Amino acid sequence: MIDKRFYGLILCLLVGTICFGCGGKDTARESSDPSVETIRDEKEDENMTKEDFMREAIALSCSSVEHGGGPFGAVIVRDGKIIARGSNSVTLLNDPTAHAEVSAIRAACSSEKNFKLEGCELYTSCEPCPMCLAAAYWAGISKIYYGNNRTDAAEIGFDDSFIYDQIDVAPEKRTVPSEPMLRDEALQAFRMWSEKEDKIEY
């Protein structure tokens, strides 16, 4: 009769093989979107400095260029660990909102299962454009670090200064003019929101 310890050994080997096969990583589901990355690797250095995080964002920007994307990268950091990465995939996805910062924020919110990223820091290879800056505010990002500034971006064809200038222009006089209409009807949704007792404010 075979010793029970033999069966125990076989079981341990099988379990060990399964665990080894999964890689032992705590990962979020990888997105098909090439602009986002939410993998968390246990081997990631827990003692990374602010400079290390910025270098990661810069590396993402260079990798993005090599793979056909725009020259921008970003990472979201919480408690000294990277929780999400993003790169600019505007042309790859035909999505004008797929900037690195927005992509990283989307990935982080998905990974954290929360629309707020309070306590998180954003490291981006370039000073955020108005859209990305607004997204960081809406997400509750605590601090932003950036590499290149808006002047550096303008010098290679990414000039966002006109958008900043447009903010102070009367809506009807902007390059893309805005015209109000049906305000009385549109206010219905606002009244419904104000009266809704179980709404989730953000």
Catalytic residues, by residue number, are: 101
Burial class (CB in 10 A: 0-12, 13-18, 19+), 72: buried
The answer to whether the CB of 135 falls within 8 A of the CB of 98 is no
Residue 38 to residue 52: CA distance in whole angstroms: 18
Burial class (CB in 10 A: 0-12, 13-18, 19+), 173: exposed
Residue 160 to residue 155: CA distance in whole angstroms: 11
182 phi and psi, to 5 degrees?
55, 40
Kind and range of the H or E run holding 84: strand 81-87
